[in-house]
């Protein structure tokens, strides 16, 4: 059920801007359609809101009548009072029933509104996973290994040769899609994450080590308990969820607060372990550490005024470009199609690095503009120039993660199985320029 007085304070309906949707429902219908969702859910949410309003009005009217009637009892004579008290009892029972009905209508309206995903921005392509728009191809040129005279190894073979990745023992200890990073593998991950943290700090982001477990309210507030909730690990004994990104904890940090944006956006960067069940990915990227259950990530997160969100989104994308330049990877930037967006994202740009052994681009980082979707759910606001509370926008983007090891090993490998360390990571590896393979008998 909703918190006390939820139906009266509008708590249930802060997931989306229902007032704007009521005035003009067509943009949301078109957005749902572009995502591959049923546009009828828009009308269902609006109808549920109307029922909520009617139930609330009936409750408030009856409660006002009850209060007015109560005043008569105090001035009534001894003879009149028993009949008045009996009538007051009936009024009280009616008010209680109407309050329950109002709360139930608010709960139903909340559920109907929760079905709606964020309104996509203009320029987001319609369609699914394969309907993205390529915006640019950047970074170092894609290497011609044939011209160099050798066949490239994939990241797992390279990692085994470097004694850096051990998936066999990961599976032995924890099951499929788990692994050990060891030696230069562990050092390489820490180098990537520390470089990302330094980059974020240089751009004014406050570094944070975030919780890896959050409440259902926080997980739901960020939009992760929708269609893809089966991707999330749930701990029923504690009623907590393991986060798949520190975005969740960073978004929840200012829940139910009015924050100060007078000096510009609030920017945080979270370092955390991340956990994903990878449900539905059976048979996909099973080799190596591309798609795994546990990894580390440095995530950017911004709170800003809605009118500044597009510019802030470009800032996050440019920081990702800066990091990809440090590790010298060939990559492209795509504008993700609506049907491949998470429920909270209004637009998402993916940076995909070239994976030579698979002859394809692989996502290594992304950045999403969530507009006011998450902040509405989590009740995060700021004061405008007139001092009135307004809902802020939230944005997120990955600045470095375990998966980058895959692209770095494959793109910087050499014929003898060694791997050249990108110049931008050398300070984080004690000046090491080349990762050398280790020859040893067996495991």
User: Please, which residues have CB within 8 angstroms of residue 251's CB and are 6 or more apart in sequence?
Assistant: 218, 221, 222, 301, 374, 378, 394, 396
Q: From the candidates 51, 53, 291, 383, give the one annotated as an active-site residue.
A: 291
Of 152, 154, 182, 153, whose CA–CA distance to 287 is shortest? 154
DSSP for residue 136: E
Q: Given 60, 231, 328, 363, which residue is catalytic?
A: 363
Q: Is 366 annotated as a binding residue?
A: yes
- What distance lies between CA 77 and its chain's CA centroid? 64
Strands 206-209 and 234-235: unpaired
Q: Find out whether 178 is annotated in a ligand binding site.
A: no
Strands 240-242 and 213-214: antiparallel
Query: Annotated binding residue at 363?
Result: yes
Q: Is 299 annotated as a binding residue?
A: yes
Q: Is 86 a catalytic residue?
A: no
Q: 3-class SS at 283? A: coil
Residue 87 vs residues 61, 81, 343, 396: alpha-carbon distances, Å: 17, 10, 50, 58
Q: Consult the annotation and say whether 398 binds a ligand.
A: yes
Residue tagged active-site, from 366, 368, 376, 410: 366
The catalytic position among 63, 376, 381, 403 is 403
Instruction: Tell me: is residue 256 an annotated ligand-binding position.
Output: no
Give residue 346's Cα distance to chain centre: 11
396 annotated to bind ligand? yes
What is the β-pairing status of strands 206-209 and 266-275? parallel
Q: Is 246 annotated as a binding residue?
A: yes
- List Cβ<8 Å contacts ≥24 apart for 418-422: 419/158, 419/162, 422/326, 422/327, 422/328
Residue 366 annotated in active site? yes
Q: Is 138 a catalytic residue?
A: no
CB count, 10 Å around CB of 179? 24
247 is in an annotated binding site: yes
Could you please report the per-residue DSSP string of 336-384? --GGGS-TT-SEEEEEEEEETTTTEEEEEEEEEE-TTHHHHHHT-EEE-
Residue count of the chain:
443
Annotation-wise, does 364 bind a ligand? yes
Question: Is 278 annotated as a binding-site member?
Answer: yes
Say how many Å lie between the first and final Cα of the chain, rounded.
56
Q: Which residues are catalytic?
A: 276, 291, 363, 366, 403
Which amino acids are annotated as binding site for ATP, given as ranges?
Answer: 276-278, 292-295, 363-366
Which amino acids are annotated as binding site, given as ranges?
Answer: 245-247, 276-278, 292-295, 299, 363-366, 396, 398
Which amino acids are annotated as binding site for L-serine, given as ranges?
Answer: 245-247, 276, 299, 396, 398
């Amino acid at each position: 059920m909703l918190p006390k007085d939820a139906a009266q304070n509008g708590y249930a309906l802060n997931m989306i801007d229902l007032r704007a949707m009521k005035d003009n429902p067509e943009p949301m219908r078109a957005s749902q359609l572009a995502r591959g969702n049923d546009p009828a859910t828009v009308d269902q949410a609006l109808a549920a809101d109307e029922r909520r309003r009617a139930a609330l009005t009936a409750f408030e009217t009856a409660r006002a009548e009850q209060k007015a009637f109560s005043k008569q009892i105090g001035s009534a004579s001894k003879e009149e009072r028993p009949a008045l008290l009996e009538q007051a009892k009936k009024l009280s029972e009616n008010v209680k029933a109407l309050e329950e009905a109002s709360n139930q209508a608010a709960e139903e309206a909340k559920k109907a509104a929760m079905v709606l995903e964020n309104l996509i921005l203009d320029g987001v392509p319609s369609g699914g996973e394969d309907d993205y728009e390529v915006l640019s191809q950047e970074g170092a040129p894609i290497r011609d290994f044939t011209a160099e005279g050798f066949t490239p190894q994939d990241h797992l073979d390279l990692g085994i040769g470097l004694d850096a990745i051990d998936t066999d023992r990961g599976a032995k200890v924890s099951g499929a899609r788990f692994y050990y990073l060891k030696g230069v593998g562990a050092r390489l991950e820490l180098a990537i994450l520390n470089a990302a943290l330094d980059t974020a700090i240089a751009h004014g982001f406050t570094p944070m080590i975030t919780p890896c477990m959050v409440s259902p309210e926080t997980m739901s507030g960020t939009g992760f308990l929708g269609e893809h909730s089966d991707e999330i690990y749930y701990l029923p004994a504690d009623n907590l969820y393991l986060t798949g990104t520190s975005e969740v904890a960073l978004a929840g940090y200012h829940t139910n607060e009015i924050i100060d944006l007078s000096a510009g956006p609030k920017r945080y960067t979270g370092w955390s372990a991340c956990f994903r069940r990878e449900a539905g990915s059976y048979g996909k990227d099973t080799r190596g550490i591309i798609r795994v259950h546990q990894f580390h990530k440095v995530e950017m997160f911004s709170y800003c005024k809605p009118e500044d969100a597009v510019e802030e989104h470009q800032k996050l994308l440019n920081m990702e470009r800066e990091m990809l330049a440090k590790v010298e990877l060939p990559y492209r930037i795509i504008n993700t199609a609506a049907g491949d967006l998470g429920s909270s994202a209004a637009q998402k740009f993916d940076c995909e690095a070239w994976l030579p052994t698979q002859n394809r681009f692989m996502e290594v980082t992304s950045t999403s503009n969530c507009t006011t979707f998450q902040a509405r759910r989590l009740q995060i606001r700021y004061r405008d120039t007139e001092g009135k509370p307004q809902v802020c926008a939230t944005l997120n983007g990955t600045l470095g993660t375990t998966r980058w090891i895959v692209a770095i090993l494959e793109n910087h490998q050499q014929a003898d199985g060694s791997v050249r360390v990108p110049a931008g990571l050398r300070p984080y590896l004690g000046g090491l320029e080349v990762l050398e393979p280790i020859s040893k008998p067996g495991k």
